[in-house]
Amino acid sequence: MHDPHSERMSGSETRAAGGLALVFAFRMLGMFMVLPVLATYGMELQGSTPALIGLAIGAYGLTQAFLQIPFGMLSDRIGRRPVIYAGLVIFAAGSLLAANADSIWGVIAGRVLQGAGAISAAVMALLSDLTREQHRTKAMAVIGMSIGLSFAVAMVVGPLLTRAFGLPGLFLATAAMALLGIVIVAGLVPSSAGPLQHRESGVSKQALWPTLKHADLLRLDFGILVLHAILMASFIALPLALVEQGGLAKEEHWWVYLTALLVGFFGMVPFIIYGEKKRRMKHVLLGAVSVLLLCELFFWWFGTSLRALVLGTVVFFTAFNLLEASLPSLISKVAPAGGKGTAMGVYSTSQFLGAAIGGILGGWLYQHYSLSGVFAGCALLALFWLGFAVTMREPPYVTSLRLPLSAAALQEAGLAERLQAVPGVADAVVARDEAAIYIKVDTQQLDRTSLERLIEQAPATC
């Protein structure tokens, strides 16, 4: 038995975090590997047009967006593993369908089916079931890093795999990774006692409506929608620009993305540190959106040589990585106590919807207005986002806590209100069905030991 208050993750928690991070990484790898190659290799498919290529790139986002939250709720009812297994099988089936397609419509159908394996919410909920409160943020950070790493690997491995085995080989590799995910969940991830009720890691019906009418959360949801719309649309135009205007063979694109992602990753770190330490994340966000806008204008006006395209891609990915890393953190800060899981569910839905819109819009713009139309359209999207983001408030610099409540503390009327009077406590909500209280705290002001003592000493009231 491990000490429930231990500062170190137990062996089973480490296996849970590592195993589920691998499942996420393999699945995201399968989603992302087609991005840098579909615009260039997909035109060889029967019936291809730029608009249909765009639809194929974004199609997975449609089913992913609509099924994300329902699959998470289903996992609360029938268990996490059946939903995860079914989702991975559906994803593998979609990959096989795309691998055997000889027309663009077959690839589109495969991508739609891939997206129907929407297991993100169920995986995050299983992680919550298998980790203790004090280690949950750490475990979720491992999954976050695995997603970022899988995107970087996909940008490099996608072109290399496609050069060696063609598009069918690429899709067969994604099917194999999905099936490997099933083996990892079955063999490496420990068993859980059953679904844990936890509002910070899953969608809560009670928190859904407040989340949907929260102005600053909606601004962030719009932001991730636009960010992924710009990413997908740019990946229709950039590979083609590298070939047509940069004179770079499609088999050689991998080094451009590797350079851009490496520089972009290390380039974003100082800005994240500055924003968090100085508590100026709004300014960092506005700066990154402005850079994204300038990148698209740069591609539009000056993207006529390989040197200019590589430079623009490096700066683009620095801004993209910065926004991709900071937006979930802002959601956690802004979401009300006990509402983070629901806020992240709506955020993920917005992200996938943005991917679908970006792919479809980018393909349509390229077909009708060529490369310059795609870059101009992306610049306009970034300008809209900047207009919305300017009006948001500086986020509160708070951390979420979930503390168990004794039977006596549960009986106390006004416990949440009393705790909100404690210096450093920004918000508190009692979840009686979980025998817990969710609290948002400013760690620079709060004495956590005093807070826990106050909760333990809560008198029962009649």
Task: Give the pLDDT band (50/70/90) at residue 462.
Answer: very low
Same domain, residue pair 351 and 213: yes
d(Cα 158, Cα 196) in Å, to the nearest integer? Answer: 37
Q: What is the DSSP letter of 102?
A: S
Q: Is residue 283 part of a domain?
A: yes
Separation of alpha carbons 222 and 382, rounded Å: 11
Q: Confirm whether 227 is domain-assigned.
A: yes
Which of these three, 189, 214, 249, is where a domain ends?
Answer: 189
More confident residue, 400 or 39: 39
130: domain range?
12-189
| Residues sharing a CB contact under 8 Å with residue 457, sequence separation 6 or more, in sequence order | none
d(CA 46, CA 59): 18
pLDDT above 90 covers a percentage of the chain that reads 57
The chain-wide mean pLDDT, for the chain, equals 88
The Cα 84–Cα 72 span in angstroms is: 10
Apex CA 76: angle with CA 335 and CA 346, to 5°?
A: 30
Q: Whole-angstrom Cα distance, residue 459 to residue 462?
A: 10
Shared domain for 125 and 75, answered yes or no, is yes
- Look at the block and give the residue holding tokens 């899981």: 341
Quickly list DSSP for 153-186: HHHHHHHHHHHHHHHHHHHHHHHHHHHHHHHHHH
Q: Of 376, 397, 418, which marks where a domain is finished?
A: 397
Confidence band for 461, pLDDT divided at 50, 70 and 90:
very low
Q: Would you state the pLDDT for residue 263?
A: 92
Higher pLDDT, 34 or 339: 34
- C-alpha dist (Å) from residue 354 to 294, 296, 350, 400: 20, 17, 6, 28
Residue 187 φ then ψ, to 5°: -100, -30
Query: H-helix or E-strand containing 315?
Result: helix 306-334
| Domains identified in the chain, total number | 3
Residues 320 and 403 both lie in one domain? no
Residue 459 has pLDDT above 60, yes or no: no
Do 370 and 403 lie in one domain? The reply is no
Same domain, 304 and 449: no
CB under 8 Å, gap of 24 or more: what pairs does 42-46 form?
42/104, 42/107, 42/167, 45/101, 45/102, 45/103, 45/104, 45/107, 45/167, 46/102, 46/103, 46/104
- Residue 438 pairs in a beta bridge with 402, 429
Q: Is residue 360 within 8 Å of 54, Cβ to Cβ?
A: yes
| Cα separation values, 180 from 17, 174, 378, 457, Å | 16, 10, 36, 49
- pLDDT of 433-453, one tens digit each? 777 888 888 877 877 777 777
* 22: in domain: yes
More confident residue, 1 or 397: 397
C-alpha span between 34 and 28 (Å, rounded): 11
Q: Which of 302-306, 405-409, 457-461 has the highest mean pLDDT?
A: 302-306
Q: Tokens standing for 376?
A: 């101009």
Tokens of 46: 């029967």
With respect to residue 108, please indicate whether it lies within any of the assigned structural domains.
yes
- pLDDT of 11 > 80? The answer is yes
d(CA 420, CA 439): 9
Q: What is the CATH number of the domain that holds 287?
A: 1.20.1250.20
Burial pattern 156-179, b for ≥16 Cβ within 10 A else e, equals bbbbebbbeeebeebbbbbbebbe
44 exposed, middle or buried (CB, 10 Å; 0-12, 13-18, 19+)? exposed
| Better pLDDT: 116 or 460 | 116
Mean pLDDT value of segment 119-131: 87
pLDDT of 457 > 70? The answer is no
- Looking at 380, 397, 414, the residue that finishes a domain is 397
Going by the DSSP 8-state scheme, the letter that residue 253 receives in this structure is T
Chain-centre distance of CA 58, in angstroms? Answer: 15
Same domain? 407 vs 391: no
Same domain assignment for residues 392 and 410 = no
**Does residue 93 sit within a domain?**
yes
Check whether 199 has a pLDDT greater than 70.
no
Dihedral-angle region of residue 166 (phi above 0 means left; psi in -120 to 50 means alpha; beta otherwise): left
Query: How far does the chain reach from its first CA to its final CA, in angstroms?
Result: 38
In contact, 398 and 442? CB cutoff 8 Å: yes
Provide the pLDDT confidence category of residue 428 given band limits of 50, 70 and 90.
confident
User: Cβ distance 140 to 127 under 8 Å?
Assistant: yes
How many Cα neighbours within 13 Å face the side chain of 127?
A: 31
| pLDDT of res. 460 | 45
pLDDT (0 to 100) of residue 455: 72
pLDDT given for residue 434 in this prediction: 78
Residue 462 lies in a domain: no
Range list of β-strands (E), 5-53: none
Confidence of residue 347 (pLDDT cuts 50, 70, 90): very high
Looking at the fold, whether 352 and 223 belong to one and the same domain comes out as: yes
SS3 430: strand
Residue 7 lies in a domain: no
Sheet containing 399-404: order of strands: 399-404, 436-441, 425-431
- The pLDDT score that the predictor gives to residue 453 is 72
Nearest CA-CA partner of 347 in 219, 460, 461, 448: 219
DSSP for residue 103: B
Same domain, 117 and 226: no
pLDDT above 80 for 291? yes
Q: Do 53 and 178 sit in the same domain of this protein?
A: yes
Structural domain contains residue 415: yes
Please report where in the chains the tokens 């590797």 appear, as a residue.
258
The helix (run of H) or strand (run of E) holding residue 399 is strand 399-404
Tokens of 132: 């203790």
Same domain (yes/no): 388, 408:
no
289 and 419 share one domain: no
Distance between CA atoms of residues 261 and 176, nearest Å: 25
CATH number for position 405: 3.30.70.100
Residue 157 in contact with residue 29, Cβ under 8 Å? yes
Tell whether the model's pLDDT for residue 171 goes beyond 90: yes
